[in-house]
Structure 1
Amino acid sequence: MTTMTKEVWFVTGSQDLYGPKVLENVAANSQAIVAGLNESGKLPVKMVFKPTVKSPDEIHAVCQQANASADCVGLVLWMHTFSPAKMWIAGLSELRKPWLHLHTQFNAALPWDDINMNYMNTHQSAHGDREFGFIGTRMRKDRKVVVGHWQRPEVQDQIDDWCRAALGWAESKSLKVARFGDNMRQVAVTEGDKVAAQIQFGYEVHAHGLGELSDVVNAVSDADIASQLDLYHQDYVISDATWKESYNVDMLKNEARLELGMQRFLDGGNYKAFTNCFENLSGLTGLPGLATQRLMANGYGYGGEGDWKTSAMVRIMKVMGQGREGGCSFMEDYTYNFGAKDQALGAHMLEVCPSIAAAKPRLEVHRHTIGVKCDVGRLLFEAKQGPAINVSPIDMGNRFRILINEVDTVKQPAETPHLPVASALWEPKPNLSVAAAAWIHAGGAHHTAYSQAVTTDMIIDYAEMAGVETVVIDADTTIRSFKSELRSNAAYYMLKQGI
Structure 2
Amino acid sequence: MTDIKDMKVWFVTGSQHLYGPKTLQQVDVDSSKIVDGLNASGKLPVEVVFKPVVKTPDEILNICVEASADKNCIGIITWMHTFSPAKMWIGGLKALSKPYMHLHTQFNRDLPWSEIDMDYMNLHQSAHGGREYGFINARMRKNRKVVVGHWQDENVQTQVGNWVRTAIGWADSQGLKVARFGDNMREVAVTEGDKVEAQIKFGWQINAYGLGDLVKYIDKVTDAEVDELYKEYEQEYAVAENCKPGGEYHENVRVQARYEIALKRFMVDGNFKAFTTNFENLTGLSQLPGLASQRLMAAGYGFGAEGDWKQAALLRIVKTMSEGMKGGSSFMEDYTYHLDPANEAVLGAHMLEICPSIAAKKPRLEVQPLGIGGKDAPARLIFESETGDAMNVTMIDMGNRFRIIVNTLDVIEPLDTMPKLPVASAFWKTHPNLADGAAAWIYAGGTHHSVFTLALTPDFIETFAEYADIEFVIIGKDTKVPEFKKELKWNEVYYMLAKGL
Normalization by structure 1: what TM-score? 0.98
Larger displacement relative to structure 2 (106-115 or 355-364): 106-115
Quote how far apart the aligned CAs of 1:491 are.
Answer: 0.7
Q: Distance in 1 between matches of 2:54 and 2:112?
A: 27
- 2:165 maps to 164
Provide the aligned C-alpha RMSD in A.
1.1
Aligned residue identity for 1:427: K
Residues 1:498 and 2:500 are matched in the alignment = yes
Query: What is residue 87 of structure 2 aligned with on the other side?
Result: 86
Partner of 2:349: 347
Q: In the superposition, relative to structure 1, how do residues 212 and 244 fare at CA in structure 2: closer, same or farther (>3 Å)?
A: closer
1:100 and 1:289 map into 2 onto residues whose CA distance is: 41
Deviation at 1:107, TM superposition (A): 1.3
State the secondary structure of the residue aligned to 1:374.
coil
Q: Quick check: 1:287–1:372 contact (8 Å CA) kept in 2? A: no
Matched, 1:393 2:395: yes
Q: Does 1:251 align with 2:252?
A: yes
Contact 2:242 2:250 in 1 (8 A): no
Secondary structure in 2 matching 1:494: helix
Q: What do residues 358-416 of structure 1 show as CA deviations (whole Å, max 9, x unaligned)?
A: 11111111111111242211111111100111011000111110000001100011111
- Where does residue 146 of structure 1 map in the other structure? 147
Q: Which runs of 5+ in 2 are unaligned?
A: none
Partner-residue secondary structure (3-state), 1:140: coil
Between the aligned partners of 2:240 and 2:185, the Cα distance in structure 1 is 34
Shift of 1:341: 2.4
User: What is the alpha-carbon distance in structure 1 between the residues aligned to residue 243 and residue 304 of structure 2?
Assistant: 29
Q: Percent of counterpart pairs with the same letter?
A: 57
Instruction: Tell me which residue corresponds to 2:447.
Output: 445
Q: State the partner residue of 1:95.
A: 96
After TM superposition, the structure 1 = structure 2 runs for residues 396-411 of structure 1, keeping only pairs within 5 Å, are 396-411=398-413
Q: Shift of residue 244 of structure 1?
A: 4.9
- The letter for the 2-side match of 1:255 is Q
Residue type of the alignment partner of 1:485: E
1:120-131 paired onto structure 2 within 5 Å: 120-131=121-132
User: What are the ranges of 5 or more consecutive residues in structure 1 without an aligned counterpart?
Assistant: none
Paired position in structure 2 for 1:489: 491
Pairing of 1:298-313 with structure 2 (within 5 A): 298-313=299-314
Aligned counterpart, 2:203: 202
1:182 partner letter: D
Distance (Å, rounded) in 1 between the aligned partners of 2:287 and 2:249: 15
Q: CA deviation at 1:248?
A: 2.2
What amino acid sits opposite 2:393 in the alignment?
V
Does the 8 A contact of 2:65 with 2:95 survive in 1?
yes
| Cα distance in 1 for residues equivalent to 2:122 and 2:224 | 70
1:220-235 map, 5 Å: 220-235=221-236
Matched, 1:269 2:266: no
Which residue of structure 1 aligns with residue 433 of structure 2? 431
Equivalent residue letter for 2:387: Q
Letter paired with 1:462: F
Contact kept? 2:217, 2:262, Cα under 8 Å: yes
Moved more, 247-256 or 484-493: 247-256
Structure 1 distance, partners of 2:85, 2:318, is 38
In 1, Cα distance between equivalents of 2:444 and 2:343:
23
| Partner residue in 2 for 1:469 | 471
Partner Cα distance (1:93, 1:341) in 2: 53
Cα distance in structure 2, aligned partners of 1:11 and 1:372: 59
The answer for the alignment partner of 2:175 in structure 1 is 174
Q: 2:107 aligns to what?
A: 106
Equivalent AA in structure 1 for residue 49 of structure 2? V
Q: Is the 8 A contact 2:286 2:375 kept in 1?
A: no
The aligned amino acid for 1:312 is: A
The question of whether the paired residues in 1 share the 8 Å contact of 2:243 and 2:253 is answered with no
Cα deviation per residue 1:98-121 (whole Å; 9 max; x = unaligned)?
A: 111000011111222222211111
Instruction: State the one-letter code of the partner of 2:488.
Output: L
Query: Contact 2:288 / 2:375 at 8 angstroms: preserved in 1?
Result: no
Q: How far, CA to CA, are the matches of 1:248 and 1:29 in structure 2?
A: 65
Q: In 2, distance between residues paired with 1:61 and 1:105?
A: 25
User: What residue identity is the alignment partner of 1:229?
Assistant: Y
Distance (whole Å) between structure 2 residues aligned to residue 146 and residue 22 of structure 1: 25
Quote the offset at 1:157 in angstroms: 1.3
* Residue 480 (structure 1) aligned with residue 482 (structure 2): yes
Corresponding residue for residue 459 of structure 2: 457
C-alpha contact (below 8 Å) 2:181/2:211 kept by paired residues: yes
Q: State the SS of the aligned residue for 1:404.
A: strand
Aligned length in residues: 499
What is the CA deviation profile of residues 127-185 of structure 1, one whole-angstrom value per residue up to 9, with x for unaligned ones?
11111111111111111110000111111111111111111111111200000011111
Answering whether residue 422 of structure 2 is matched by residue 420 of structure 1, we say yes
Matched, 1:20 2:5: no
Paired residues of 2:311 and 2:331 also in contact (CA < 8 A): yes
Q: Which residue does the alignment assign to 1:42?
A: 43
State the one-letter code of the partner of 2:415: P
Aligned equivalents of 2:92, 2:245: Cα separation in 1: 67
Aligned partners of 2:404 and 2:242: how far apart in 1? 45
Q: Deviations over 1:199-227 (max 9, x none)?
A: 11110101000001011011111111111
Residues 2-23 of structure 1: CA deviation (Å, up to 9, x unaligned): 3121111110001111122211
Give the Cα–Cα distance (whole angstroms) in 1 for the partners of residues 10 and 353 of structure 2: 38
Distance 1:397 1:137 in 2: 27
SS in 1 for 2:452: strand
Moved more, 426-435 or 89-98: 89-98
Rounded Cα–Cα distance in structure 2 between residues aligned with 1:174 and 1:41: 29
**Aligned partner of residue 110 in structure 2, secondary structure:** coil
